Structure 1
Amino acid sequence: MDINLLRSIVTVVAFALFIGIVVWAWSSRNKTRFEEAAQLPFEED
């Protein structure tokens, strides 16, 4: 196994992980949860 092959594999895995996080963050299932979390600093006790 060549070092360049290992570097290529790590790059592809990191890119796939990045795309997965972007899809998760922009999914409509999480929208309400993120909107509620965004309003937390403005809520009164």
Structure 2
Amino acid sequence: MIAGIVTVILLLAFLGGTAWAFSAKRKPEFDAAARLPLEDQNENLP
């Protein structure tokens, strides 16, 4: 019985995290993070 409850809780947490990651509000932050490897490293040096 407890294992079933834990499974449901973990499934809901997974679905919530997936919805959070793919929400439209997060897109600008993920786009900026995706461009980080392509930026010139010398721009950040003092």
Name the TM tier (shorter chain). 0.7 to 0.9
Amino acid at match of 1:40: L
Q: TM-score, normalised by structure 1?
A: 0.87
Gaps of 5+ in 2: none
Q: CA deviation at 1:29?
A: 0.3
Q: CA deviation at 1:31?
A: 0.2
Report how many residues are paired: 41
Runs of 4+ in structure 1 off by over 2 angstroms are: none
Distance in 1, Cα, partners of 2:29 & 2:12: 24
Structure 1 gaps of 5+ residues are none
Percent of aligned positions that are identical: 39
